[in-house]
Chains A and B, each alone.
Chain A
Amino acid sequence: MPKILVVDDEEHIRLLYSEELKEAGYEVITAESGYKLLEKIEEGKPDLVILDIKMVDYNGLDILQDIRNRFYDLPVILSTAYDTFKEDMKSIAADFYVVKSFDLTELKKKIAMALEARLPG
């Protein structure tokens, strides 16, 4: 069962994603901020990270750079209420960019694609 780490400072989003993604057959772990996130990834070994951009103390786009530098091919989906961050060059290091919605159809589709993505070796 693929394990997904949801990083979001809004509790209701963590709950919503957890419930829906568990129902969709994923194991879900959560983090409420970017604090020591790389260590959490190291320990929790998620197969994919859903990362909020605008958190109280952290900028998801900066965290994304750190994740990419340390876990080169770990799939990361940026999940945000704003579509304007797409214009930030840093967002291209994400596998996908999804605007938050209570309907998780798009997010689930992108999760499936990111987990299916395959390169030889």
Chain B
Amino acid sequence: MAFYEENPGEIVRADVLVGIPTANEVESIARTTAQVDEGLSEYFPDMQCAIINCDNHSSDGTREAFFSAPGKTPRLYISTEPGVGGKGRNVRNFFEKARQLDPKALIIIEADIKNISPVWIRNLGAPILEGAGFVCPLYGRHKYEATLTGSIIYPLVRCLYGRRVRQANVGEYGFSPKLLDTYLNPPLWNEAIESLGVDIWMANIALTSRLPIVQAYMGAPKVHRLKDRDVHLDVLFHEVVGTIFDLMQVYKDFWEQVKWSKPTALYGTDLQEVETPLPVDINTKRLHEMFVEGFDKYYGLWEQVYGPIVAPKLQEIRSMGFQHFSFPTQTWLTIVFESAAAYRRMSPVARKNFLDGLLPLYLGKVLSYVKKTERMSLQQAEEYIENECMMFEENKSYIVKAWTKGEGG
């Protein structure tokens, strides 16, 4: 339960409930809250709505800014204990409070989105009221944005769970209260999920729920506060990839049965105004350096984990130099599949070092993707990723085999 709660309007129930997780978001919470309020008022005028700020006990005035933001929708503030951080903890507090309020639809929105508009609330909430179980947004994205999603999350999660959810790790979702039981009594909850792993954890659980999944087209890119990308990537990579690998152990009986993949329903295609994403600069020289540094540091580990077929291929890739650098998809998917299987058999300490070693391989894959798609349009780059996803699906039997290797029987 939340350590602290402030419910000035004495809210006891809400049909549509929006949660905004925060940690020191004084600069952005007021605007986000006002946009959420507008969205609720405009698109759900006949329903009881409420907004919850689920906070990490911010000391910068987030709570005050939340309550003083313009709008009429009733508000509630809950917080973790002082010094206890993590988006996942805030989201869990949101689930707990939500259960008491008996909602028909729940929405989670990150506080730091600069360009959120009221229609986003409709797009995330309306499909749930129409019977969907989980709504995942589809933002306009530049081809070099969210490369972790394009390289690992989308192909792997799609191949495992059989549903084509393009941006499963975005941080904003709509979901049905039917998912609350699983979210509150989850098969897995750990430190990574208490932090940045919570987004993919929510989507992953929804994918195994057998409830209809909808992707909501938002008509715009998601513009959010610039975080220190390099520092952030390391943590994000560990928590997100680690969470996917952890959940593979929980849902093995599910993903083992999945063959090929299926699309989702799509919502929000009526949007008239569509914004093109801004170009993303990517430092390819730095990516190459990080791959080479990783090669020198982790080749021994890679040889041990990926075996005699992949290891020489990695040497070959290393020897190509920057100009001709290329990371074959077949090698990449073998690495991802073998990594998931190897991770399962490792101790928690070994897992950390192992993910450290997987990171430079991922950066090499990103470099290869950038080089291959530099002259491609967004649509062509998207088709390139779709083809890679098909290769993951075609090789699904490999992961099943790798997973059970050494188990006998």
Residues in A lying within 8 Å of B, measured CB to CB = 65, 68-69, 72-73, 75, 86-87, 89-90, 92-95, 113-114, 116-121
Closest beta carbon of chain B to A78's beta carbon, Å: 11
Closest beta carbon of chain A to B306's beta carbon, Å: 29
Q: Are A119 and B163 in contact (CB under 8 A)?
A: yes
Q: Are A89 and B258 in contact (CB under 8 A)?
A: no
Q: Which residues of B contact A90 (CB under 8 A)?
A: 266, 269
Query: Is B224 close to A, CB under 8 A?
Result: no
Chain B, 316-354, CB within 8 A of any chain A CB: none
Q: Which residues of B contact A113 (CB under 8 A)?
A: 260
Known: A72-B212, A89-B217. A118 touches B162 (CB 8 A): yes
Closest chain B residue to A87, Cβ basis? B379
Can you pick out 18 interface pairs between chain A and chain B where the beta carbons lie within 8 Å of each other?
A65-B266, A68-B263, A68-B265, A68-B266, A69-B130, A89-B138, A89-B217, A89-B269, A92-B164, A92-B266, A95-B263, A117-B162, A119-B162, A119-B163, A119-B210, A119-B257, A119-B258, A120-B258
18 further contact pairs, Cβ within 8 A, besides A69-B130, A73-B262: A65-B265, A65-B266, A68-B265, A68-B266, A69-B265, A75-B262, A87-B379, A89-B269, A92-B166, A92-B266, A93-B263, A93-B265, A95-B263, A116-B260, A117-B162, A117-B259, A119-B162, A119-B210
Q: Which residues of B contact A69 (CB under 8 A)?
A: 130, 265
Instruction: Report which of A73, A93, A117 forms a contact with B266, defined as CB distance below 8 A.
Output: A93
Q: Complex formed: what's the CA distance from A75 to B130 in Å? A: 21
Q: Complex formed: what's the CA distance from A114 to B260 in Å? A: 8
Known: A72-B212, A117-B162. A86 touches B379 (CB 8 A): yes
Q: Which residues of B contact A118 (CB under 8 A)?
A: 162, 257-260
Q: Complex formed: what's the CA distance from A93 to B337 in Å? A: 27
Q: Complex formed: what's the CA distance from A73 to B254 in Å? A: 18
Contact flags B208-222 to A (C-beta < 8 A → 1, else 0): 001010010100000
Query: Is B73 close to A, CB under 8 A?
Result: no
Q: Which residues of A contact B217 (CB under 8 A)?
A: 89
Residues in B lying within 8 Å of A, measured CB to CB = 130, 138, 161-164, 166, 210, 212, 215, 217, 253-254, 257-266, 269, 379, 383
Which of B257, B264, B266 has most chain A Cβ within 10 Å? B266
Closest beta carbon of chain B to A40's beta carbon, Å: 20
Closest chain A residue to B217, Cβ basis? A89
Q: Are B266 and A72 in contact (CB under 8 A)?
A: no
Closest chain B residue to A88, Cβ basis? B269
Closest beta carbon of chain B to A64's beta carbon, Å: 9
Q: Which residues of B contact A119 (CB under 8 A)?
A: 161-163, 210, 257-258, 262
Closest beta carbon of chain B to A23's beta carbon, Å: 24
Closest chain B residue to A76, Cβ basis? B263
Q: Are B265 and A117 in contact (CB under 8 A)?
A: no
Closest beta carbon of chain A to B342's beta carbon, Å: 25
Q: Are B265 and A116 in contact (CB under 8 A)?
A: no
Q: Which residues of B contact A114 (CB under 8 A)?
A: 260
Q: Which residues of A contact B210 (CB under 8 A)?
A: 119-121
Q: Are B263 and A92 in contact (CB under 8 A)?
A: yes
Closest chain A residue to B219, Cβ basis? A89
Q: Are A120 and B254 in contact (CB under 8 A)?
A: yes
Q: Complex formed: what's the CA distance from A118 to B130 in Å? A: 25
Q: Are B379 and A89 in contact (CB under 8 A)?
A: no
Closest chain A residue to B268, Cβ basis? A89
Q: Complex formed: what's the CA distance from A121 to B253 in Å? A: 12
Closest beta carbon of chain A to B134's beta carbon, Å: 13
Q: Complex formed: what's the CA distance from A72 to B212 in Å? A: 7
Instruction: Report which of B161, B212, B254, B261 forms a contact with A117, defined as CB distance below 8 A.
Output: B261
Which of A72, A75, A95 has most chain B Cβ within 10 Å? A72
Q: Complex formed: what's the CA distance from A121 to B130 in Å? A: 21
- CB-CB nearest 6 A-B residue pairs: A117-B260, A121-B210, A68-B265, A118-B259, A119-B162, A93-B266
Q: Complex formed: what's the CA distance from A65 to B261 in Å? A: 18
Q: Are A117 and B379 in contact (CB under 8 A)?
A: no
Q: Complex formed: what's the CA distance from A86 to B212 in Å? A: 24
Closest beta carbon of chain A to B247's beta carbon, Å: 15
Q: Complex formed: what's the CA distance from A72 to B215 in Å? A: 13
Q: Complex formed: what's the CA distance from A121 to B263 in Å? A: 16
Q: Which residues of A contact B257 (CB under 8 A)?
A: 118-120
Q: Which residues of A contact B269 (CB under 8 A)?
A: 65, 89-90
Which of A68, A92, A117, A118 has most chain B Cβ within 10 Å? A92
Q: Complex formed: what's the CA distance from A58 to B259 in Å? A: 33
Q: Which residues of B contact A65 (CB under 8 A)?
A: 265-266, 269
Q: Which residues of B contact A94 (CB under 8 A)?
A: 263
Q: Complex formed: what's the CA distance from A92 to B213 in Å? A: 13
